[in-house]
Amino acid sequence: AQKVTQAQTEISVVEKEDVTLDCVYETRDTTYYLFWYKQPPSGELVFLIRRNSFDEQNEISGRYSWNFQKSTSSFNFTITASQVVDSAVYFCALISHSGYSTLTFGKGTMLLVSP
């Protein structure tokens, strides 16, 4: 069975602060993929990043960075110098390589960035 836990329900920060969103996952599979999606108030889920289980390199994309650690089963997401436009619900998700697997989402973390 797969499980994704996002323990932070809601985070509030002031613009320009750095913020880290936590994601802890559980799976018995050795080959799997992890994702982060952003859901702004408009409702559409926007794909941000995908990592496979064999690639533990951290990744940086502009103000976004991701820290994947298999030893702690975590895939955390950091936004540097947050902006009001970053306000959204962020979902972490997991799927195994098996064709029978489904994409399992966490409950999401709502990020509120105030001016």
Site for another protein, rule CB under 8 A = 4, 31-33, 35, 37, 42-47, 50, 91, 93, 95-103, 105-108
Least CB distance from residue 103 to another protein, whole Å?
A: 6
Least CB distance from residue 15 to another protein, whole Å?
A: 25
Hey, is 72 helix, strand or coil?
helix
Least CB distance from residue 115 to another protein, whole Å?
A: 26
Strand (E) or helix (H) holding 65: strand 64-69
